[in-house]
Chain A
Amino acid sequence: MDEILAYAYSDVIVAAPYVIGAYVLIWVALLIFVIIMLNSSKKTQSDIDALREAIERREKEQK
């Protein structure tokens, strides 16, 4: 009886790593993408801030 049940559920243990792995990998792929984007966004924002400062300074000088 137990053997039969074990057989009925035998796929679960074999398949679980693949199923969980697939789920994790999808999120890893998405997360890596988001993190790369956020990082580069931060960098660009600091560029923007620096540029703004430079423009402001120059505009004051010219006045």
Chain B
Amino acid sequence: MSNALEHSYNLAQTRQKWTTIAVIALILGLVLTTFDVIWAFFRAPIVASDVVIDPPAVLEGGTVITNQLLFSQKIFYFHVPVAIVSFVLIIAAAVYAVLHLMHHSAETDLRSKTCMEVGLVFIIGTMISGDLWTRHDWGVWWVWEPRLTTYFILTLLVIAYFVLRTAIDEPERKARFSAVFAIIAAIDAPISFGITRLIPSSIHPVLERGDSGMSPDMLIPFVCGIFGMLLVAFGIFRLRLLLQEQKLEVESLKARLEELDRQ
């Protein structure tokens, strides 16, 4: 057997291993997020809104309800984890970009790009879920509010990253330039993350600093949601990476075949 083939079989073996790990991560993530949502729907307390009920309603157990209850807040249990994971992925893309600029390896470029791709999927997820909440709570699909605006900008930056990639042919330059742009784009991620605290006029809800603001009944599903979504992101990232590696292998096998044909 030739070296090329042996190499190919070895690659297939590692790929098999990583596919299993990715699928396990995906399933685990699915279980955790489902747990999060079920808990959020049935156990987490419903948050009171600003709308005061007068006279207050008294339940049979003696609980007094003074405000209209805000069910839509429950979107927080999966909208926020997805958003956090999208930030994590963009930052990860920038970290791989820095590594690429330091070591110039094709692998870091591939990882940076893959992080961006998965990041875009999570950004779309955040946008969809956030928009539905905005539609219900603010009565509109879109507001040019600081958090929404900076997040929209982040979306545009990620899309611009892919446009830049397609505009350059030379592989080495493509990798280098997109790494540079990934770092520039990632500057917006912390800005978008922190803007609701930076600009107090923002009407986007802010999670109070410190965990004391959340009861265990709220914290448990929320943390499960974050870890679940991180696992899902990791699984998708790995699968995506495997797919890219497969495509690279097709290229190298094709080259080998042509080489054989020429002999």
Contacts and interface: CB of A to CB of B under 8 A. Distances in A.
A–B contact via C-beta, under 8 angstroms: yes
Contact of A22 (B70, B75, B250): B75
Contacts of B136: 14-15, 18
Contact of B239 (A29, A34, A55, A59): A34
B96 interface: no
B28 to A, nearest CB: 14
A43 to B, nearest CB: 9
Contacts of A45: 246
Contact of B256 (A7, A33, A55): A55
Given A12-B69, A18-B72, A19-B75, A7 B236 contact: no
Interface in A14-46: 14-16, 18-19, 21-23, 25-26, 29-30, 33-34, 37-38, 40-41, 44-45
Q: How large is the interface on A (under 10, 10 to 19, 20 to 34, 35 or more residues)?
A: 35 or more
A51 B247 CA distance: 12
Contacts of B129: 22-23, 25-26
B253 A26 contact: no
A10 B68 contact: yes
B184 interface: no
Contacts of B257: 51, 54-55, 58
Q: How large is the interface on B (under 10, 10 to 19, 20 to 34, 35 or more residues)?
A: 35 or more
Nearest to B67: A8
A19, A54, A58 interface centre (most CB from chain B within 10 Å): A19
B45 interface: no
Nearest to B248: A44
Given A7-B53, A21-B132, A22-B128, A48 B8 contact: yes
B236 A44 contact: no
B188 interface: no
Nearest to B246: A44
Given A41-B243, A59-B2, A51 B125 contact: no
A44 B132 contact: no
B54 to A, nearest CB: 9
Nearest to A47: B250
Interface in B218-263: 232, 236, 239-240, 242-243, 246-247, 249-250, 253-254, 256-257, 260-261, 263
Given A23-B37, A26-B129, A51-B254, A11 B70 contact: yes
Interface of B: 1-2, 4-5, 8, 12, 26, 37, 46, 49, 53, 55-59, 65, 67-72, 74-75, 78-79, 82, 121, 124-125, 128-130, 132-133, 135-136, 232, 236, 239-240, 242-243, 246-247, 249-250, 253-254, 256-257, 260-261, 263
Given A15-B72, A22-B133, 9 more contacts: A19-B132, A23-B78, A29-B124, A38-B239, A47-B250, A51-B250, A51-B257, A55-B2, A58-B260
8 contacts: A15-B70, A21-B132, A29-B121, A30-B232, A41-B239, A44-B250, A52-B5, A52-B8
